Structure 1
Amino acid sequence: MSNSMVNEAEPKELRDESDFEAIFSGGDFTSVCGFGSLLSERSARSTFPELINFRVARLNGFRRVFGNVAPIFFERGIAKPETKEISSLCAEPCEGETIIVTVFEIKKSEIPAFIQREIEFRFLAVLPETLDGKLYDKPAVLCSRSTDEEFFQVRCKGNKDIFLQHYGRHNIDKIWRDDILPCRVYLRHCILAAKNLGETAYNNFLDHTFLGDRSTTIREYLASSGSGIMEEEPPESLKFRYGG
């Protein structure tokens, strides 16, 4: 059986801390997959200052999609709701697709904060492989696509107040959408981060990252309607975090 066949098997979903503990029960660290802003080691370290073993890997059976509204972009003043440029990235299962990711380890004590920070996602335990095709012997956590219903029932426990706390204050009533576009500052940051990892990661990001329509690649988007995105500097307060 090939590595890619092993890697594309149904990944295990991690719903709470006990699931994380069951998967990562042998040590003090948990592996995390980065596919967007966490392609940048600088950005990863701004979130996880004590991370270790930052490296580049390949993940088979997934693609990147700009398909979820991110409240953090509203809070930081970089969302553009008037043009629907409000989307962050998720990874979602897709047979035959491959994405270049980063993998690093965080302390287990950071898991509760990690879950809370990425609360809208479905957490999956996946097995990346090295760029030369060797399958990892330990799983890593991937933030994957979820649904509004799952978020409301699982994360919010059916409580509308919890939903309002995270999204309602930004007039967001739907998280997972296929009609939104990438937040410009965030997209530029991800592209620069991928480019800093080398040509393979850069081209993979452009060709295996899609708009919410799941047919337009980022390379195509930049060539058509994404004019000027790469020339736009982030706001001064965000230049370090979103600098690639």
Structure 2
Amino acid sequence: MISVVGYGSLLSEQSARETVPNLSNYRLVRVPGYRRVFDKVGIVFISRHGMPPDSLELASCSTEAADGIDIIAAQFECSESDFLELYEREHRYRWIEVKTCHLDTGEPSRGRMCTGYSDTDYRLNKCVTEAEYQRRVGQYYAGPLWRRDILPNPRYLAFCLQSAATQGESVLQNFLDTSFTADGRSVRQYLADNPGLIPAEVVEYSYR
């Protein structure tokens, strides 16, 4: 079995089970020394959801090392075959092993988590040929994947917030304060700067 750490939409156990139906031992953990950051172009927003490739609201969530910050994430185990499907879905990320501790008991563990990459490393290490890159990315989008000028995709951000909210107020507050836009604002500040960004019919709670 492979242990996976999810920090965005996988904070919803229902969403995690839709992605990995046979997962086991779903629990909440702290991941010390990392923060979330919305700095990766989400190709799926273009290929499946109709976002124009020149929009700035294309960012999906990644992670990066950050001293003094602990994110609350979900951790679970899955089979090698299920992990390979998850790996394919998250192909544009780099996978790393991180230390975790159970949110309630403090029990230490380790798991695999997606984190930031670079365009050069992605092309060299994950896309063996230019044709593969064209199939995965180029047919939809021509710019860099990892950017500091993009903003969270609103519906994806709403889904991440809802996923955090399903785990309780403390998990939601952690998400708001340990997640950042590519230009360095906390998600809490970003939402305060952009009132009404997340449609009321999408978000069923108050993030203030």
Q: Calculate the TM-score normalised by the size of structure 2.
A: 0.91
Q: 1:131 Cα shift?
A: 1.9
* Aligned counterpart, 1:207: 177
Q: 1:187 Cα shift?
A: 0.3
For residue 159 of structure 2, give the secondary structure of its aligned residue in structure 1: helix
* Aligned counterpart, 1:223: 192
Q: 1:226 Cα shift?
A: 4.9
CA distance in 1, matches of 2:179, 2:58: 16
Instruction: Report if the CA contact (8 A) 1:78-1:183 is conserved.
Output: no
Summarize deviations over 1:90-149 as a string: whole Å, max 9, x none: 011111111000011111222322222111111111111122462424x21100001101
Cα 1:78–1:191 change in 2 (3 A) is farther
**Where in structure 2 are the equivalents of 1:1-244 lying within 5 Å?**
29-77=1-49, 79=51, 81=53, 83-132=55-104, 134-137=106-109, 139-157=110-128, 159-214=129-184, 216-233=185-202
CA distance in 2, matches of 1:76, 1:129: 36
RMSD: 1.7
Instruction: Report if the CA contact (8 A) 1:148-1:176 is conserved.
Output: yes
| Paired AA for residue 44 in structure 2 | I
For residue 88 of structure 2, give the secondary structure of its aligned residue in structure 1: helix
CA distance in 2, matches of 1:41, 1:172: 34
Instruction: Report if the CA contact (8 A) 1:78-1:185 is conserved.
Output: no
For residue 68 of structure 1, give the secondary structure of its aligned residue in structure 2: strand
Cα 1:226–1:35 change in 2 (3 A) is farther
| Paired AA for residue 211 in structure 1 | T
Q: Calculate the TM-score normalised by the size of structure 1.
A: 0.78
Identity of aligned residues (%): 34
| Paired AA for residue 4 in structure 2 | V
Instruction: Report if the CA contact (8 A) 2:39-2:182 is conserved.
Output: yes
CA distance in 2, matches of 1:61, 1:78: 35
Moved more, 78-87 or 49-58: 78-87
CA distance in 2, matches of 1:78, 1:171: 12
Larger relative helix fraction: 1
Q: 1:41 Cα shift?
A: 1.1
For residue 174 of structure 1, give the secondary structure of its aligned residue in structure 2: coil
Summarize deviations over 1:34-90 as a string: whole Å, max 9, x none: 101111111111110111111111110000000001111122215354541111000
Give ranges in structure 1 of 5+ residues lacking alignment.
1-28, 235-244
Between the two proteins, the alignment pairs up a number of residues equal to: 203
Give ranges in structure 2 of 5+ residues lacking alignment.
204-208
Instruction: Report if the CA contact (8 A) 1:32-1:105 is conserved.
Output: yes
Larger relative strand fraction: 2
Instruction: Report if the CA contact (8 A) 2:43-2:137 is conserved.
Output: yes
